[in-house]
């Protein structure tokens, strides 16, 4: 019986995939995302150049067959750096989004199901964190932790969690007094069990769509912080730091800036197109949220 | 008010946790221990945490944000000096987004379902998605470096308004471009809603020209949600402004904080972040009030 259910599910999943693909924008989004993910995963197969190998003789070379996107001020191959930078960008985006989802769901459940005063305190905290402009928050936090990927993840979590927790909280509040929750309570289920088995499955799906739509934002935060020198440390390739290298030398060697910006544009566009299509198909109500 | 207070508490905790001694930074490596100790007492760093917090909190509400560690000028003065540049940049960004966003959204709503509508839709999503610092760099690359149409750095000669405006074009485009998309979508959605409503039908029944219905009767109502949206958007524009100020080497609060962090000039960092946060909260409130003034229905709910 379980096999049958999972069969049905995977069948449904392929059908939704087909629906996304039928929308031209969705198909374009998927193509872009696959292109960037593929480039990041198969980086070692696609290029023989080491992303961090410095060779002073090849400094500032314009794009050629050997160096598809040219080289930077240290003679490093930009195509290879862009591919490896994709690994950083995508893994940070996935890890940070997953972390903020987990924390947001837990805090939202606590705020929605817990005592009133705790709810009020948490809402106040969320609003206060939200009242900092993102870059200001990032700048202040980096003074605290120093520039690192951890700082990037913390900034993303701080930016995302208040919104996620709020959504979960509102829905939990709505479900709190509903009949199936009262029934579970009367059958002696503990708070943890009710939250995990009865409330969470009902509140999580709209959040998943929103979180997937936030992935381009997270990629932009990572690239932006690395651009300011607040994210990944220098030898590690990141789209943001390539862009910064290019910015410094923008008058003489514009291709470095182009190489750094292009993957950011393509990836954010791909994920956004994909997310928009999915949202329109699955949950048109979310469209109201801007 | 409460939110600002809690934000101040968080800010203070962060600053307190930061490793490094502001007194040591201020006096440089050649200072003696006694000199450092003296300055620490002057800055109140020797008192218990809660006394320090109370002093910071109390002084901040009175407008005293402490002194710039490096130049020993009042932080409030330094920040206020830079604030007009950032405000001008944000205002420029709003102008771009309103000037492009409202006509585009309006056009898309009138031409609903056509190719034009779809193109505007895709373009809006695209400009929303692309981060502002990439826009800034590409704008710099195309218009300042390649075409040499517009200046690349600085804020223009002080006193020469024309020159300052020319210097404002590119940075404010970088700040406002994403919001063109948001506004176009918002205006399109609310236009479609308004065009369905009773009074528009009445206006049509009276035989008013379509152009007049669209721009005079529908748009004035459809524009309301945009004001609220802009109120929220100003926070994000502040973030983009930081990048735009750095890319185009403009003076402003964003660049101030960035430089202050690199030199560990903490009072300046706290002061500037605090001022921008208060500004952000106030602008949100202002947007709510404007909507209230424009739409009597909202006023009763405020």
Mean pLDDT per block of 10 residues along chain B (302 residues) reads 61 55 53 59 57 60 59 72 82 85 83 79 81 80 71 65 72 82 85 79 77 75 76 76 81 81 73 76 73 64 46
**How many other CB atoms are found less than 10 A from the CB of residue A233?**
13
Q: Least CA distance to B147: which residue of chain A?
A: A251
pLDDT at B277: 73
Tell me what the mean pLDDT of segment A271-278 comes to. 81
Residue A281 above 50 pLDDT? Answer: yes
> Given pLDDT bands bounded at 50, 70 and 90, which one contains residue A158?
confident
* Chain B residues near residue A257 by CB distance under 8 angstroms: 137-138, 141
pTM: 0.76
Instruction: Output B15-20 pairs: Cβ under 8 A, ≥24 positions apart.
Output: B15/B266, B15/B269, B15/B270, B16/B49, B16/B52, B16/B53, B17/A144, B18/A143, B18/A144, B18/B266, B20/B264
Query: DSSP letters along A20-46, please?
Result: HHHSHHHHHHHHHHHHHHHHHHTHHHH
Nearest to A144 among B18, B138, B185 (CB): B18
Who's near A103: CB < 8 A, 6+ residues apart? Answer: A157, A161, A164, A165
Using the predicted structure, report yes or no on whether residue A2 has a pLDDT greater than 60. Answer: no
Across the strands, what pairs with B14? none
CB contact under 8 A, B276 and A135: no
* Contact (CB<8Å) A135/B261: no
- Residues A129-148 have a mean pLDDT of 74
Cβ separation A272–B138 shorter than 8 A: no
Name the phi and psi angles at A71, rounded to 5.
-130, 165
Worst-scoring range by mean pLDDT, A104-118, A269-283, B142-156?
Answer: B142-156
pLDDT at residue B17 in the model: 53
DSSP state letter for A94:
H
Q: Do A136 and B273 touch (CB under 8 A)?
A: yes
Cβ–Cβ of B138/A261 closer than 8 Å?
A: yes
Please list every residue in chain A whose beta carbon sits closer than 8 Å to the beta carbon of residue B277: 131-133, 136
Residues of chain A above pLDDT 90, percent: 0
State how far residue A75 is from chain B, nearest Cα, in angstroms. Answer: 22
**Do the Cβ atoms of B129 and A272 come within 8 Å?**
yes
pLDDT at A7: 53
Per-residue confidence (pLDDT) for residue B296, from 0 to 100: 64
**Residues 175-194, chain B: which have Cβ within 8 Å of A?**
182, 185-186
Using the beta-carbon criterion (under 8 Å), do B6 and A265 form an inter-chain contact? no
Give the tokens for residue B232.
């929220």
A249 burial via Cβ count (<10 Å: 0-12, 13-18, 19+): middle
CB contacts of B131 in chain A (<8 Å) are 220, 223-224, 264, 268
What pLDDT is attached to residue A290?
36
How many other β-carbons are positioned within 10 Å of the β-carbon of residue A252? Answer: 8
CB atoms within 10 A of CB B142: 14
Report ipTM for this prediction: 0.73
Q: What is the pLDDT of residue B167?
A: 75
Lowest mean pLDDT among A44-53, A236-245, B35-44, B184-193: B35-44
**In this complex, do B133 and A144 lie within 8 Å of one another by their Cβ atoms?**
no
- Cα distance between residue B234 and residue B222, in whole Å: 20
CA dist B195 → A6, A96, B103, B106, B132 (Å): 46, 42, 16, 11, 33
Q: Which pLDDT belongs to residue A199? A: 79
* Distance in angstroms (rounded) separating the CA atoms of residues B172 and B243: 11
Task: Give me the residue spans of the domains in chain B.
Answer: 2-61, 79-301
- Architecture per CATH, domain B79-301, reads as Orthogonal Bundle (1.10)
B45 neighbors B52 (Cβ within 8 angstroms) = yes
CA geometry: angle B269, B261, A135, nearest 5 deg: 75
pLDDT attached to residue A288:
45
Q: What is the pLDDT of residues A57-99, one digit of tens each?
A: 666 666 666 666 666 666 677 777 777 778 888 888 888 888 9
Helices assigned H by DSSP within chain B: 2-17, 22-27, 33-43, 49-61, 75-110, 115-129, 132-139, 161-195, 198-205, 210-212, 219-222, 224-247, 253-262, 266-294, 296-299
- Top residue of B105, B137, B175, B261 to mutate, by most chain A CBs within 10 Å, is B137
Q: What is the pLDDT of residue A55?
A: 67
Residue B174: what pLDDT? 81
Per-residue pLDDT for A5 more than 70? no
């Amino acid at each position: 019986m379980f096999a049958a259910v999972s069969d049905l599910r995977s069948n449904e999943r392929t059908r939704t995939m087909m629906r996304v693909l039928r929308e031209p924008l969705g198909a374009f989004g998927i193509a872009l995302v696959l292109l960037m993910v593929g480039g990041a995963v198969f980086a070692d197969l696609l290029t023989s150049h080491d992303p961090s190998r410095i060779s002073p003789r090849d400094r500032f070379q314009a794009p050629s067959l050997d160096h598809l996107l040219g080289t930077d001020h240290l003679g490093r191959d930009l195509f290879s750096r862009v591919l490896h930078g994709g690994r950083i960008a995508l893994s940070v985006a996935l890890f940070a989004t997953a972390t903020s989802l987990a924390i947001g769901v837990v805090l939202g459940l606590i705020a929605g199901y817990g005592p009133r005063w705790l709810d009020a305190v948490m809402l106040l905290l969320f609003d206060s964190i939200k009242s900092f402009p993102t870059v200001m928050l990032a700048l202040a936090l980096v003074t605290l932790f120093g520039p690192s990927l951890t700082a990037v993840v913390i900034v993303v979590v701080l930016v995302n969690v208040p919104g996620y927790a709020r959504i979960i909280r509102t829905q939990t509040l709505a479900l709190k007094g509903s009949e199936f929750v009262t029934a579970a309570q009367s059958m002696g289920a503990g708070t943890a069990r009710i939250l995990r088995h009865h409330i969470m499955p009902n509140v999580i799906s709209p959040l998943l769509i929103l979180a997937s739509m936030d992935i381009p934002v997270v990629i932009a935060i990572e690239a932006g912080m690395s651009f300011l020198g607040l994210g990944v440390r220098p030898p590690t390739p990141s789209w943001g730091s390539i862009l910064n290298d290019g910015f410094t030398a923008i008058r003489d060697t514009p291709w470095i800036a182009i190489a750094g910006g292009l993957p950011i544009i393509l990836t954010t566009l791909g994920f956004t197109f994909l997310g928009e299509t999915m949202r329109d198909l699955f949950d048109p109500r979310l469209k109201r949220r801007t | 008010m409460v939110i600002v207070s809690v934000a101040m508490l968080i800010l203070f905790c962060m600053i307190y946790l930061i490793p490094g001694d502001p007194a040591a930074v201020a006096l440089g490596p050649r200072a003696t221990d006694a000199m450092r100790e003296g300055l620490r007492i002057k800055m109140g760093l020797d008192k218990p945490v809660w006394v320090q917090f109370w002093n910071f909190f109390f002084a901040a509400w009175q407008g005293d944000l402490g002194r710039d560690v490096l130049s020993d000028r009042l932080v409030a003065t330094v920040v206020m000096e830079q604030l007009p540049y950032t405000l001008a940049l944000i205002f420029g960004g709003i102008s771009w987004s309103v000037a492009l966003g409202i006509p585009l959204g309006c056009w898309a709503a009138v031409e609903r379902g056509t190719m034009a509508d779809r193109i505007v839709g895709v373009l809006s999503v695209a400009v929303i998605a692309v981060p502002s610092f990439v826009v800034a760099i590409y704008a710099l690359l195309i218009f300042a470096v390649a075409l040499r149409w517009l200046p690349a750095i600085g804020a223009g000669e002080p006193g020469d308004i024309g020159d300052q405006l020319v210097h404002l074009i590119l940075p404010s485009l970088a700040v406002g471009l994403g919001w063109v998309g948001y506004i176009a979508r918002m205006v399109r959605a609310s236009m479609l809603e308004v065009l369905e409503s009773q009074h528009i039908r009445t206006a049509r029944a009276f035989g008013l020209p379509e152009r007049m219905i669209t721009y005079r009767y529908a748009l004035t109502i459809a524009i309301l949600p945009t004001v609220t949206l802009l109120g929220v958007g100003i926070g994000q524009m502040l973030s983009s402004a930081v990048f735009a100020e750095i890319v185009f080497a403009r003076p402003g609060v964003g660049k101030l904080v960035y430089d202050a962090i690199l030199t560990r000039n903490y009072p300046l960092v706290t002061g500037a972040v605090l001022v921008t946060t208060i500004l952000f909260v106030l602008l949100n409130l202002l947007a709510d009030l404007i909507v209230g003034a424009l739409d009597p229905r909202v006023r009763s709910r405020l």
